[in-house]
Chains A and B, each alone.
Chain A
């Protein structure tokens, strides 16, 4: 079981991911709707794993990832991305993301990714 924080500006995606994680008995310790909030929540909650959307208002996922990596170089952040965002995924990898999942994804996909990181 991992303590996970979900970062996504779309409430629908947060609910979807949360439902998937809960079914596999992971604990969703927090959610954030943009990169800026994610940084604050990360400091408070110290989650084991973060799922991070890339395109968000206020602060995008890559910038947020970089900030989180500065706070905690061992942070485990999985990017949630979509086809067409290849250039940004590359940035994310170079900035320390532990991996990425591509929307639309299946439950097994995200769970196996999380399980590998725990």
Chain B
């Protein structure tokens, strides 16, 4: 069944892409309170595609709903509708997208899409009805009618053509045709058959006569199609055509004389077209042009699309893992050979070449995993839209740097924190309209979501122009919760705001549907630090809050500085190392509480002895016999004391095995581990948690 699985997989991937682009299109459209004709066409097309694919997969509810929506947009496409009707259509579409997404995620987790779309389908048909009735009131003639009438004009004209071609009457035949069950649109199959038979320069009439009327399909399905053919060609040639016609199940050809009785029942198709053919052609070509014309951006996208394939991300994950293993294995190999000097030279050249290839491979794999952060940002648009409606605030979401590319892991890890921060901003940050106007702000609140790249990090900031964090409230709350023992009014803002990241802290007592449901900023911090990043907050009372998340660009392979304490190996990300010095006794001071302080580059920093911090048995105690490293991150700046530096290395970061956290209650200070070139294990320091 693997074929079916991959089919389902590609169904899911494609539907997700379609729904995402649809949602973005609708969000753009809602900004202007209506969709333009290109956008309407696009919605129609997406719904049509979803319908077709879902029907093939026999996901009936998805197919039914997309069919109903397709009908709505088919009507909108062919008729102009009043601006007042758009809000209901947007709501219907957004709710439907939520339904589709829900069903798709059921499929993703291996369940069947058992949701009931009836109420949405009901809404779709009501919408269609009200659109139609609005149209009747306006007294406009619908274009759809034009199309079908123009099509029938052509048929009638064509029937005339056939007749005029026929100079002298030949023999008459009665032909009865049945089409395959389930072949559908039998009236058009009949129409197509008649078109092919016209090659015989014959006069044809059919029963049922009106093949433009789609309801005749059923009659033909049940009773077959009866044709009266007058031609000079042999019955063989009729037979040849019938045999080549798709979905013809059975047929019979009889000379007309034998069935003269039946002939009287035939209705002759001799109506003369009333309209001029050129006029109808013009209408049709206009229609086609409208349907074909798409903005340039779309065409670029459509053309570039064929260069992409979709790959299961699990495959990329294992590819990345394998590359990581290769990096490790390679350094084990390089470090463990013992060769004569002549061999050594060759070996070094070869191993250097191999390293550069591995580096290249690594870069390529990393770049495959990169995706624009826009996918994540656009989800937030929907969130802000839905939430701001619920809480009755007008909020604009500005997206900056959507094109920034980040690793897939980062996107996954950022999703929840972003949701949470934005919920907070909408719920607690942005004030209601009256308060905003009273404090001289524009009525519409603004949240800005920005991503940018620095050398080694990606920085994602969420800022709002709301009321900002209330310093005093935070201090009060922190004391109530026992997070701080005393309110210190001299505490710097940065430290006060950092309190919100401590587990159990939540400044707002009221729990709303969206935020403050037990999960706090501590979860945000935890998620971000899990991918090696850091969070900080800036806020100005009355002017807004800014939350800054800094995440390393490549997650799994870092450039590190190795050092040891006794027999233990440690690694610290090289980007955080400011300086390494051989200390002298005079550089170390002790403060009133007995904490050691180190003077580095003219400033004082806390000095942490790694041996004492982790409670290690061996290691240097004498300051003059060890080394000091000055570390600086977004959040913290301090110095560490250890035995010796082991040099620089590139390592693959592995998360600590789960059982370690069960053995020890406190793993703070350790961000992960890595296997070194000689096969030994080294711990990676988590600078922010020390």
Interface set of A (CB-CB < 8 Å, partner B) = 9-13, 15-16, 19, 33-34, 37, 55-60, 62-63, 78, 81-84, 86-87, 89-91, 93-94, 97-106, 109, 112-113, 116-117
Cα-based distance from A98 to B52 in the complex (angstroms) = 21
Known contacts A82-B52, A89-B185; A12/B195 CB under 8 A: no
Does B566 count as interface, using CB distance less than 8 angstroms?
no
A57:B294 contact, CB within 8 angstroms: yes
A103:B55 contact, CB within 8 angstroms: yes
Does B369 count as interface, using CB distance less than 8 angstroms?
no
B305:A104 contact, CB within 8 angstroms: no
**15 other contacts beyond A11-B14, A58-B298, A117-B246, with CB at 8 A cut-off?**
A11-B13, A12-B14, A12-B53, A55-B48, A60-B288, A62-B288, A82-B52, A84-B67, A84-B70, A90-B151, A99-B189, A99-B192, A103-B51, A103-B56, A109-B180
A86:B180 contact, CB within 8 angstroms: no
Contacting residues, chain A, for B187 (C-beta < 8 A): 86
B288:A83 contact, CB within 8 angstroms: no
Interface size class of B (residues with CB under 8 A): 35 or more
A33:B306 contact, CB within 8 angstroms: yes
Which B-chain residue is minimally distant from A16 (CB atoms)? B56
Q: Which of A12, A13, A56, A100 has the most CB of B within 10 A?
A: A12
Does B3 count as interface, using CB distance less than 8 angstroms?
yes
- 29 pairs of residues in contact across A and B, judged by CB atoms under 8 Å: A11-B10, A12-B14, A12-B15, A13-B56, A15-B7, A33-B302, A37-B306, A56-B45, A57-B298, A58-B292, A58-B302, A78-B246, A82-B51, A84-B70, A87-B147, A90-B191, A93-B195, A94-B154, A97-B192, A99-B247, A100-B246, A102-B184, A105-B182, A109-B180, A109-B183, A112-B180, A112-B246, A113-B246, A116-B244
Cα-based distance from A103 to B212 in the complex (angstroms) = 20
Closest Cβ of chain B to A104, distance in Å, is: 4
Does B245 count as interface, using CB distance less than 8 angstroms?
yes
Closest Cβ of chain A to B1, distance in Å, is: 12
Known contacts A34-B302, A94-B154; A99/B245 CB under 8 A: yes
Cα-based distance from A103 to B44 in the complex (angstroms) = 16
Contacting residues, chain B, for A93 (C-beta < 8 A): 188, 191-192, 195
Cα-based distance from A83 to B214 in the complex (angstroms) = 10
Q: Select which of A37, A58, A78 is within 8 A of B294 by beta carbon.
A: A58
Known contacts A34-B302, A113-B246; A13/B288 CB under 8 A: no
Cα-based distance from A46 to B117 in the complex (angstroms) = 44
Closest Cβ of chain A to B380, distance in Å, is: 27
Cα-based distance from A62 to B67 in the complex (angstroms) = 21
Closest Cβ of chain B to A114, distance in Å, is: 9
Does B90 count as interface, using CB distance less than 8 angstroms?
no
B48:A82 contact, CB within 8 angstroms: yes
Cα-based distance from A24 to B134 in the complex (angstroms) = 51
Contacting residues, chain A, for B15 (C-beta < 8 A): 12
Contacting residues, chain A, for B3 (C-beta < 8 A): 19
Which B-chain residue is minimally distant from A83 (CB atoms)? B184
Closest Cβ of chain A to B354, distance in Å, is: 38
Contacting residues, chain A, for B245 (C-beta < 8 A): 99, 116
Contacting residues, chain B, for A94 (C-beta < 8 A): 154, 158, 195
Does B291 count as interface, using CB distance less than 8 angstroms?
yes
Closest Cβ of chain A to B666, distance in Å, is: 50
Contacting residues, chain A, for B367 (C-beta < 8 A): none
